[in-house]
Every structure is written in C-alpha cells, then in structure tokens.
Chains A and B, each alone.
Chain A
Amino acid sequence: MPFEYTIAVVAIPLFMFLFLGLGGTQMGRKITGVLGVIGMLVTTVLAYGVALTYFFGTGQGQVVDGVRQAITVMNPDWLSFSENLVVRMGIMLDPIAAMMLIVITTVSLMVHLYSLGYMCDHHGHPEKGFQRYYAFLALFTFSMLGLVVATNIFQIFIFFEMVGVSSYLLIGFYYSSPAAVHASKKAFIVTRLADLFFLIGILVLSYYTGTFDFDKLVGNMATAQSAVASAGGATFMGCSVIAWALTFIFIGGAGKSAMYPLHIWLPDAMEGPTPVSALIHAATMVVAGVFLVARLFPLYVIEQGAMDIILVTGAFTAFYAAAIACVQSDIKRALAFSTISQIAFMMTSLAVSSNHSELITIHGGQGLGYMASMFHLFTHAMFKALLFLCAGAIIHAVHSNENSDMHGLHKFMPITSIAFLIGCLAIAGIPPFAGFWSKDEILVAAYERGLGWGLWMSAVAGMTAFYMFRIYLLIFFWKKHKVHTEHEPADQPWTMTLPLIILATISIVAGFVPAAKMFTWDGAALHTQLNWTVAGSSVLIACVGIALAFRLYYKENDLPARMKASAHGLWTAAYHRFYMDELYQFITHKLVFGLLSVPIAWFDRHIIDGTMNLMANVTNQCSFAIRRLQSGSIQAYVYIYLIGALTVAVATIVCVLI
C-alpha cells in the first residue's frame, strides 16, 4: 500500500471531528455513533495497510543494507520563524511511528465500538452529548496520530497540546459533575506545567542546534553527535546546555506520561468515561512521553546525564505507583496506578541504555532497552485497554467503582471475568501471554545495566502480579455477590463484549510479534534470544505474587484486615497516595494563590490604582481650594485687584528707596 495513505489515516479522524462536531446535533445520536465507528474502521484498515507495508514491504529504498529507512511522506511548511527554524506539518514513518499507528487505531477502534454500548443509559438509549463524545474521540485520535508521525519536535509539541485538550474535554465530558470538572482542570494544568518545560527545552535546543527537524537532530548517531557538538560545549551550572534542554523536554514527557511527581492528574482523570480512560489514559496519550524520549533517543544516549535522570525517575515511579496500586479500593484508580507503574517500566527500559562504547558494539546494549520499551508499549496498550474496558463493563453492570460493591461477579459475568483474567496474566508476565515477552526484554536490559537495577525492576514486576490479582480476585471472587441494583449484573451487549474478545485475543498473541526485528531504534534487526535465567526467575516472582494474592483475596478471610491493622500507618499513607495531592493543593492554593495572586491583585487595586486616584484627588482638591477665588462677585475682584496693585506699588517704592 502506498505510504501516501498515511495522509488519509490522519485526515479521516480530523474530518470526522469536524463533521460530527458541526453537524452531529442535526443527526440522530445512534447514527453519529455508527458513523464514528465506520470512520474509525476505515482509518484502522488504512493504518494497518501502511504499517504492514512499512514493516514487511521491500519497496524501493525501503531497506538499505538491512536497515529499514525512515520515510517522509510529506513535509509542508506551516509556520516559518526564520530561515532555519521552520515548523512543518509533516508525516514521517519509521519503526515506532508505524507501530504507534497500529496501537492507536486498534485501541481507538475498539473504544469507538465499545462506547456504542457503554455510553447508553439503562434503557439502551444513547446518552445526552453522544455526538459530542464521538467528535472528541475523533479529535483525540487525530491529535495522537499527528503526534506520532511528526517530523520535527515543534510538531510534537503542537500535538502534545492537542492531545492535552482532547483529554481535558473528555475527562470533563460529564461537565455537570464538579468532580469531573475539577479533574479535567487538574489534568490540563499539571500537563501544561510540564509542557512549559517542554517548550523551554525546545527553545534551548533550537537555539543551539538551529533546527527543529528530527532528520537534522536525530537522523542517526552521527547527526546526533554533530547536533550536540553545535552547542560548542556551552554549559550552564556545570552541565552541558543540551543536557539541560533534554532534561526539560523529558519533564514535558513526564507530565503526559505521569511520572512522579507529575503523576497526580492521572488517577483523578478516571472521572472521565471509562472507554476514554482506556484509550487516552491507559493506551495512547500517556505513552506520549515515552514516545518523545524514544524519538530523541540518540541525543539522550550522548547526554548520559539527562538519561540518568530518566532512569532514576522511572525506576522510582515504577515502585511508588505499584505500592499505591496495592491498596486502592476504586478499581479504576488501581488500574491507573498500575498504568503509571507500567509506563515507568518503559521509561526505565529506555534509560538503562548506556553509551559505553563496548555496549554499543555488542547487540543488547542500547538497542535492547529501546526495543524492549517500544515492545512493552505495544503489548501494554493492548492488555491495559482490555483491563480498562473490562472495568467499564463491570462498572456499567454494578454502577459503582468501588470493589466493595463488586465481589463474586465471576458467576454473573463469565466473559468479562475471563477477559480480565487474560489481561491480568498478560500484565503479570506469565508466558505465553503478551506481557511476558516484553517485560522479559526489559528485565534483561535492566540486568545488563547493573544487577541493582535488574533486581529492583524484578521486585516491581512481582508487585505488579500481586496487585493485579488482588484487583481481579476482589472483583470476581472473595465472597458471594450482593445485588445492589434492580438489575442483576450480567455480561454486556455485543458492542461491548466483542472488543473485549478481540483485545483478549491480541493480548494472548501479541508477544509473538517479531519485535526485535521491527521496533529497533536504527531500523536494523536486533538478534535476541530468550535469557532463561531472567525469564525463569521473573516467572517465578510473578507466580509468588499471584499465589500471595490468592492466599489473601480468593475467599473472604480476615488476613488482609489483620495485615492492614498491623501496618496501619503505611497502609493509610499508601491509600492516600502518600499525600502528594495534599502537597500540591498546598502549593497551588496557599502559595501561588495566597502569596502571589491575591497580593498582586490587591497591590494593583490599592497601590497602583491608588496612586492614579490620588493624583486625580489631589488635582481635585487643589481646584476646589482655589475655586473660591473665582467667586463671580465684582466687588471681590476689585478688592483683590486693589490689594494686588497696592502691594506692587509699595514693593516698587520700597525697591526704589533702597
């Protein structure tokens, strides 16, 4: 399939957004939904065609010396700042862009289809705002696709903002609910703060390198070297300016990808409709930060200082989020923390790549971490979307997010239960499910960087298995289900079940994708083989985690409560997410509002404006004071005149005499 079809892949969702956004209210609700699904289906088919052609085609110039070349489909100027600094709206295909096309369109199509059933009330009628919902979904899909095919860093920034707004609009979809409005605001502002750093990073980077274009920045290792060299060794506070720029850019990515301490918006973002959480806050938008770092990978490899910051942030976040996920009672929030932890896995995997020359030459050095990260991004998108869509089906059935309202649903919702179990097995890393293959590569890469990093990540992988099965068992087992609502919970209509089945199937087989040959950073195939020590030990750790979860949560017992009581402080702290939200609340409300905005507004009204009013008042008072001289009475004027004349006369005489 010609690569020009990529233009259609990006353009169709944009068209759907405009079409449904402007004309949606004129059509029936159901029709808009069906049109949305059809539009997305066409996009998906085209995207698969393009991506498969990219990966397996042998067209002219596609593969040179065993290296798959990046292909620029189009690159028109959009905004020229100066001769060199031009923002272009281009489309570029390379391994990760093609991979992301598949991820985005697959999950988006599933969510489009699923929402036909999910966004309905009890009677099966579409909710109010159905058209708006599908328009926003299309807008998001467009923005995300535009992000991954970007040809320059400024284009990524533009689409970073666009996905941020789509996410804002969709989190706040139920805009009557104050919680949703608050969550959407928080998500936007936190990611905006991160984007500020991204912008500063771009400014610094473009100032020294004089370009935004990826082919001039990171086309290959040599261009990356010369881009770094163009800074001429300029340093700021002892670090090279390029390292600063890259760190700032990483902060931008960390905002979107919910790395500690910018993760606080993601759990709240669960206020949005669940299919939205599956699409945006599990599979696609939240990996934009990982994608960004992967895009600039050669620069990070050279500037190891920036890379180390990513490594530490990623490794810490992975553990931190996993710890919180172990105690959450709201299933969506638990899944959200699981997402944060898994994205941190991807970040860590990118960052364990080292620039030691001996590691570059032997395969498995920097290439392995990168490939593993992208592979995990791919598999994680599939099984995490599956888990979220399952959670949506459960929430739809019991009308609650709390696992205390669930328990024992296995009998009522068998298909959902099995799909959820497949998702859990995949994320826990049990072979042959998808997560095993990608997580194994990540662990191998981590062990290659150092034993400590490897052990740390293995421990987090064990926690992952534990908390996922905790969630699973508390939803589907633990004790008999008490029916709260008038309906008995049951598997949902086919529009919702079909995506579950498809995604479950993908979650089983996605691990067999020949990732090492496809998702490499330079386009050359990587030769890897299963490292039995790492694989065996990670499966063992996962099994321990699962067994522990079964011991604690399979049947109702008082062990979890006793454990909770014995570690009460720790449990409460983790449940309250280690009070990070409270800290933010304090900084924004007390410090920024209380110490900056309020005093400035007061200063403006009273000091600055007061000065102006004072000048006016003084003028007024002066005129008032001398007003009495202008009394209008002739006698008074003559009187004053005489006094004046006499004074002058006397003064003259005195002067003459002296």
Chain B
Amino acid sequence: MMIFDNILIYFVIVPVLTLAGLALTNNKGIAAIRAVAVTGATVLVALALYLVYLFLHLRGAGDTSEMLLQTSVTWYEPMNIKLALGVDGVSVVMILLSAFIVFAGVFASWKMDPLPKQFFLWFFLLSTGVFGFFISIDLFTMFMFYEVALIPMYLLIGVWGSGNKNYSAMKLTLMLMGGSAFLMLGLIGIYFHSAPEGQPLTMNLLEIAHNDAIPHEWQYYLFPLTFVGFGVLGAMFPFHTWSPDGHASAPTAVSMLHAGVLMKLGGYGCFRIAIYLMPFAANELAWIFLILTGISIVYGALSACVQTDLKYINAYSSVSHCGMVLFAILMFNTTAMTGAVLQMLSHGLMTALFFALIGMIYGRTHTRDIRKMGGMMHIMPYLGVGYVIAGLASLGLPGLSGFVAEMTIFVGSYMHSDVFHRVLTIAATTSIVVTAVYILRVVGKLLFGEVQDEHHRSLTDATWEERLSTATLILSVVIIGCFPNFFVNIIAPSFEPVVSALESASHMMGM
C-alpha cells in the first residue's frame, strides 16, 4: 500500500510492533522486556533523526509546500474521515523531542517493579498516541491519538505511582478528559463549518484552513473551546491543578513523558488547531488568554518558591514554563512562536531530566522532602552535577536550552507593536529572577550543605543505565543551547501560514 512508503507511518508502526513484542514476553523475563523496549526506543530515535535529515533534504531541494510527506488514506467515506499524514518543521522537532524522551524514559524505568511488562505496554501505547498526534493533519485522527495518549496515564499513575496515587490519577484523568470534552465540541463545530456551502465537509486541517469557511460568530465559540481544551493539557491557569498532584504521584518515566511530551500536545494543538483554523477569533480573544498565561508564568514560579516536595517544585515550575509556551504562541509573530516551540523542546528535555533525577534520588532516599535531605553532592556526585545542570538550564543559563527559548520568547513578544503586549512581556520577564530563587533554593538545600540524614551516607551514585538516560538528555539540552539557529531554521518558516492567516484576519477586522 502507498501509505507504507511514507516514513511517517512508521512512527506509529514501531511502537505498535514494540507493543506486540512486549506482549510476547512474560513478566519474569526482565531481560527480554528490556531488550524489546530498548530496541523500540532506539529505532524511534533513529527514525526521528532520519526524519530531520529527510525534512532538511526536501526543503533544501526546494519543496516549499506547507506540509511535507503528505499521504492520505480514507477511513470512513461518509464523513470524509481520513488518515492524513504530514509534517512541517514544528512537528519534526516535536517528533525528535518525543523520541529522545521515550529513549531516556526506557532507561529511567530500567528497574521497574512490579509488572514491568505491563508498565512498558502502557508506556508504549502512550508513545503511540503521542507520535500519532504529531504526524496527523486530520482532526479526527489527531483527536483519536490524543485520547490514546491520555488514557494510559490513568493506569500508569494508578498502578505504578506513589503517595496519594488513586486520587491523583483520578484527578489528572478527569481534568484532562474535561478538557477533551471541550475539545470534542470544538472539533465537531469546526467540522460542520469546514467547507463553504455545497462542498463536502472535511476533517483535513490544511483544507479547513484554506477554505477559511468558519463564520466569525462561530469562531467566538469554537476558539475558546479548543484553546481551553488544549490549554488544560498545557497547564494553563486556572486549569493546572492536575499537574502538581499528577506529577507527584506518577512514576519517573511517566512524569518524564508527561511533562516532557504530553504537555506539549497542548501547546501544539493550541496553535495548530485553535489559532490556525480560527484566526479571526484568535485576534479578538487573545488578550483574555494572554492574561491567563501571563498569570501562569509568574504564579507558577512564585508557588514553586515555597514548595518542599521536589516533584511539586518541578510541577509548579512546569506551570510557569508551559505558561510561557502559550503566552508566546498568543503573541502571533514568527519570532515569539518560534520561541514557544524552542521552549517546548527545552522544557520537555529539562523537565524530563529533572523528573529522571528526582526519581533516581527518590529511589535511593525514599523521600522527596528537601528539608530531610542535604549534601547529596558528596554522596552522589553524578546525580548532583546532573541536577545542577538541569537547574541551570531551567533558570536560563546561556549555552543550555532554556536561555535560547526564553530569550526568543521575550524578544519576540516585545516586538509586538501594541503597548499592552509589551507591558505583559515585561511582567513575564520577572519570572527569570523568581526561577533563579527557587532553583537555587533547591540546589542549595538538596545538594549542598551538610548531609542531613546519616543513613544517606551509604547510598550509591548513578548506575550505567541511569547515566545513559540522563546523559542523553543533558547532551540534548546542551546541543539546543549551543546551536539554536539549526532549530530556528527548521521551525520558523513553519509559522508563515499561521502568521499570514492571522494578519489577514486582523486586516479584515480593521476594514
């Protein structure tokens, strides 16, 4: 079949094959389970790297179409539902990010206990959903994969989590499902206005965008529905409270995948569906969400300052950093939006790194309370150095990814010609100081100073698989931080269609 000629479909096939492989193993044979999982993850990384190469090659060869590698197969004729695949620069880097985090996640859950087989099954089902979402350009398929990615969360937290895991799993799932409900309403609304009178309705994103047939009065309802629907997953204030509890209870690899990739689905969906398809309402209503995301940025950072649980600190810091993603997307210019994608990459990698390290520390000390720990740098220097690097990336040290992303966002946002937007930008910049406060507070308490608990002295440093997992992430953070233009050149051109749609919409409004 023609669809198998497209490399994109293999991003779904490989995890599914991994699932099948895992199904054949049994829970006692941990070596076999690991072998299958590592093979699957490695193939995904290789595929993702090849995809980047292919993308650059095609663009270099002069292919300027909006989405590359497009393929479309009909699923359900009467409603014109298709499996439509295609990628632009943003999806390519998102796929790359996901592949690396899945890879690091497999190694971070090396000693998963109990039921390793089932854990990896759900883990790869979740990744199937994530990859499927990023390669699709059909609303129906996107939504389907979106749900595939969300549901396994419930079991992964409920079964393998820690602490108040039933409550957290339930809360997270219900809140995200609530978001999906908004989203589904929005998507149905979009579908019924997807084409002008007399033409067949379509679910294809590009066709809907080109038809531009959604009436303006409808956009006023559909834009908030879809934006909030995705915004819940992007931890937008005040729909972020699933994040602290969910992350605190989730097992390491799930926190990594969730904060690293799943939350990015929110930001990605916001611009690809909400803004791109409804530019008119986006222009009109952006200010509401700008205020909300602006609050997220500062509010998340300030909340993080007084937390004592390592995972809560990172969950709130994620609220702040993901708030920045949505904030930048709403600035509607190429620079800020590019910054948003860089921030997604950066936040994905460094939060995954944080959660991996926290999991490793927790696995040894059995506590995440920073008041009960201290002087870890003496005991586990490798993990300590990793934590410092993650912290420095988070507070925006040049040479690491966070700086590049935040600066692109700030400079891009400040380019806005409207004073209101620039004032909000300045308010958002204050987060760089608050971030420094809470990061240094944790680093000072957790890693430096005297050892608090004498039992901690006998703990060991990272094992080889933990080193591999963290080193992969650290290296990625450094590469983005040192060579940002490589990524900017991939990402920035992809925003031209969105920005021009927004500009023509605001032009029409002016008339």
Interface set of A (CB-CB < 8 Å, partner B): 77-82, 85, 87, 154, 158-159, 161-162, 165, 168, 172, 175-176, 178, 181-182, 185, 188-189, 192-193, 195-196, 199-200, 203-204, 206-207, 593, 596-598, 600-601, 604, 608-609, 611-612, 616
Contact = CB atoms under 8 A, between A and B. Distances in A.
A78 B277 CA distance: 33
A74 B23 CA distance: 57
A181 B448 CA distance: 7
Contacts of B412: 81
B174 A616 contact: yes
B414 interface: yes
Q: 9 closest pairs, A vs B, by CB? A: A175-B448, A158-B398, A597-B305, A203-B414, A609-B241, A181-B448, A192-B436, A597-B306, A79-B484
A598 B306 CA distance: 6
A128 to B, nearest CB: 10
B404 A162 contact: no
A227 to B, nearest CB: 17
Contacts of B375: 176
Contacts of B429: 196, 199-200, 203
11 contacts: A80-B485, A81-B335, A158-B398, A161-B397, A162-B398, A162-B399, A175-B448, A185-B440, A192-B433, A196-B433, A608-B240
Given A79-B485, A616-B174, A161 B425 contact: no
B404 to A, nearest CB: 6
Given A199-B410, A203-B411, A185 B174 contact: no
Given A81-B412, A82-B415, A597-B302, 16 more contacts: A81-B335, A81-B411, A154-B407, A159-B398, A162-B397, A176-B375, A178-B450, A181-B444, A181-B449, A185-B440, A185-B441, A203-B411, A203-B425, A600-B302, A601-B305, A601-B307
A600 B303 CA distance: 6
Contact of A189 (B408, B415, B422, B436): B436
Nearest to B408: A81
B112 interface: no
A612 B415 contact: no
B208 interface: no
B377 interface: yes
B171 interface: yes
B159 to A, nearest CB: 21
Interface in B231-250: 238, 240-241
Interface residue range, chain B: 35 or more
B305 A165 contact: no
Contacts of A597: 302-303, 305-306
A175 B404 contact: no
A601 B303 contact: yes
B299 interface: yes
B488 interface: yes
Given A79-B484, A79-B485, A206-B411, A193 B305 contact: no
Contact of A80 (B175, B303, B392, B488): B488
B485 A178 contact: no
Interface string B369-411: 0000001011000000000000010011111000110011011
A249 B198 CA distance: 60
Interface of B: 171, 174-175, 238, 240-241, 299, 302-303, 305-307, 334-335, 375, 377-378, 392, 395-399, 403-404, 407-408, 410-412, 414-415, 422, 425-426, 429-430, 432-433, 436-437, 440-441, 444, 447-450, 484-485, 488-489, 492
Contacts of A81: 335, 408, 411-412, 415
Contacts of A616: 171, 174
Contacts of B302: 596-597, 600-601
Nearest to A598: B306
Contacts of B306: 593, 597-598, 601
A85 B484 contact: no
B404 A176 contact: no
Contact of A207 (B334, B415, B432): B415
Contacts of B171: 612, 616
Contacts of B489: 80
A616 B168 CA distance: 13
A180 to B, nearest CB: 8
A330 B282 CA distance: 61
B377 A175 contact: yes
A127 to B, nearest CB: 14
B239 to A, nearest CB: 9
